[in-house]
Amino acid sequence: MDHLVQIILLLAVSVTVMVAFQRLHIPSSLGYLLVGLILGPHTAGPTVHVSEFKVLAEFGVVFLLFSIGLNYSLPQLHAMRHQILGLGTAQVALTTAAVATLLWMTGLSPAVAFVIGAVFAQSSSTIIGRQLAEQGEDATPHGRLGLAISVFQDVTAVPFLILIPVLGAATGMNALAAELGWAMAKAVLAFTLVFYAARWALRPLFRLVTERRSAELFTLTVLLVVLAAAWTTNSLGLSLAFGAFLAGMMLGETEFRHQVESSIRPFRDVLLGLFFVGIGMLIDPSTLPRIWHWALLGALLLLSKVVVVAVIVRRSGIDTLGSWRTALLLAVGGEFGFALLAIALESNVIDQEVGQIVLTSVLFSMIAGVLLIRYNQAIATGLTKPVANTPALADRLAGLPPPQVLIGGYGRVGHTIAVLLKSSDVDFVAFDTDPTRVQQGLTDGHTVLYGDIADADLLAAARAERAGLAIVTVDSHAVALRTVAALRLHCPHVPIIARARDLQTSSALIDAGAIHAYPEAIESSLRLGATALRMLRIPTVDIDQMLQDIRDGDYEPVFETPVKEDDQ
């Protein structure tokens, strides 16, 4: 079949399956797996076989690790070193060790047992996050903790990217020890190279690029950095994904982090989808009658990590009920487990038969995991009696983080608002597309990042839906209108106030979704008039009431007749 026809077929099946899965609220990763199964070599019907497909699919993991690195820079890892870092590391290490030991005792080789343990230690952040959001539990203590641990699992899995290929290359314990030592030395060298190169070049490079104000150039630069870092580690005999993760960590320390994540998201999502399609093509349904009982046993073994998680979470100080609810969230198998399994198959650490069992086990756990997440409260209540939280625990976990204000634009108005918010101890983050203003904001000691707040992907990366207020201060009417519309679409419950040039602009912004839009020309006139009235000894109470009446009437009492632009 011609390559173009195969690509069209792949896209057509993907669109059809994804539409159906989104209507049924089924995670997209499972949809891509089904596409791979349908178009794979092990099922009847057409088979997609494009020589470049495997290479493109591999880059899905590269961009996934880059995005994870963006969210876990060195300062963030240091800040999380106590609870999340400790819990995430302990969960992965203990689950891997427990599963690997059990499988080794049943007769599997240490290398195969280790890989399966590493795969089973992963949980699906996508499934957990989406299911919790649908159930309204994403802001609960157990929901936040479970999702944080699942995301951090991806970071703790990075060493597996180094270890698994070594397991396939080494023969004998002496050779394995030597290969592991050499691999770790190369990992340290790679980290050093990327770290110092990033500190020396990345921030100046992106400042130079952002001065051109070209989204196209910015995206090209991001791609260059990701691929260059991946090539560096690959040249050292390590995985491409490891280099991308290091680059993400370095960029995560800069003011460009959110815009970088926004720019890379389309590439990551498409290529990651191709990766899952490739995993789906590995599924051989004809082996199911022969391996289903082993796969079911493997799924039960995977789900047994609920006990491991419950124990370590309970020992961290969380109450018993919360510990079990958190553990049930993490029972589901993870997408990153598929990535580790693919590396193991590529490195010949495990054979195809064992790979089929592990793959099917993870799929079974995903199906069962959705049910465990949905009914986590009922199951946890049945496992243990609720225990009241201690006051210290309640203080740590109760309630949402302090409301965050989003500011669109850090010009004269944005700077003034930032000063007022900071003086009132209100957390905020401002975005601006002018690198000079961004640098000025950082000099001012404010949280100002480079990015277009009208970009839906950037809003998602910045978690704008959790903000308590959005303030649009940009001078351009077109940009302000686009920004308000994007905010209203992405986070409809977040109130928006905006700066407007005149009454017509104010009306347009309110129609677009702003609660208030203050026209500068009219407000300056009102302030001037109020000052005049005070100098004429008109009571302040009467002046304030007069101004409020004008504002409540959308300024119509002042401008009942059209006013020419020159008269303003």
Would you say residue 305 has pLDDT above 70?
Answer: yes
Which has the higher per-residue pLDDT, 77 or 195? 195
Statement: residue 562 has pLDDT above 60: no
Percent of the chain with pLDDT over 70: 87
What is the chain's mean pLDDT, rounded?
81
Residue 303 has pLDDT above 70, yes or no: yes
Least confident of 9-18, 91-100, 250-259, 387-396: 387-396
DSSP string across 169-195? H--SHHHHHHHHHHHHHHHHHHHHHHH
Please state the rounded mean pLDDT for residues 190-198.
77
Q: What is the pLDDT of residues 64-79, one digit of tens each?
A: 778 877 876 666 666 6
In this predicted model, which residue has the larger pLDDT, 53 or 13?
A: 13
**Is residue 442 classed exposed, middle or buried when 0-12, 13-18 and 19+ CB atoms within 10 A define those classes?**
middle
> Poorest-confidence range of 6-20, 170-184, 278-292?
170-184
Q: At what angle do helices 520-535 and 540-552 cross, to 10 degrees?
A: 160
What is the Cα–Cα distance from 377 to 375, expressed in whole angstroms? 6
**pLDDT for the residue 394:** 36
Q: Determine the pLDDT at residue 170.
A: 58
| Confidence class for position 35, pLDDT limits 50, 70, 90 | very high
- For residues 374 and 83, give the distance between their C-alpha atoms in angstroms, rounded to a whole number: 25
pLDDT of 395 reads 39
| Euclidean distance between CA atoms 232 and 243, whole angstroms | 7
Confidence of residue 387 (pLDDT cuts 50, 70, 90): very low
Q: What residues contact 404, with CB distance under 8 A and at least 6 apart?
A: 427, 428, 429, 466, 467, 468
CATH 3.40.50.720 placement within the chain: 405-567
Pick 2 or 66 by higher pLDDT. Answer: 66
State the pLDDT at residue 399.
Answer: 40
Instruction: Give the mean pLDDT of 333-340.
Output: 83
Provide the pLDDT confidence category of residue 82 given band limits of 50, 70 and 90.
Answer: low
Residues of the chain with CATH 1.20.1530.20: 3-383
What share of the chain in percent tops pLDDT 90? Answer: 15
Q: 430 to each of 175, 212, 407, 438, 449, how far by Cα in Å?
A: 53, 20, 4, 9, 6
For the chain, give me the number of helices (H) and strands (E)? 28, 6
What would the pLDDT profile of 200-214 be if each residue is shown by its tens digit? 888 889 989 998 888
Span 253-277, average pLDDT: 85
Determine the 3-state secondary structure of 515 from DSSP.
coil
**DSSP letter at 403?**
P
Q: What is the pLDDT of residues 135-183, one digit of tens each?
A: 767 666 788 788 778 877 777 777 887 788 777 665 555 666 676 677 7
User: pLDDT of 215-249, one tens digit each?
Assistant: 889 999 999 999 988 888 888 877 787 888 888 88
Does the pLDDT value for residue 278 go beyond 50? yes
Contact (CB, 8 A) for 329 and 140: no
Is residue 81 predicted with pLDDT exceeding 80? no
CA distances from 291 to 294, 296, 365, 435, 564 (A): 5, 9, 15, 58, 80
User: pLDDT at position 396, please?
Assistant: 32
What's the pLDDT at 567? 41
CA distance 153 to 457: 24
**CATH class, range 3-383:** mainly alpha
Q: Does domain 405-567 have CATH number 3.30.360.10?
A: no
What confidence score (pLDDT) does residue 544 get?
A: 82
> Could you tell me the strand order of the sheet in which 448-450 lies?
448-450, 428-432, 405-408, 469-472, 496-500, 516-519
DSSP letter assigned to residue 80: T
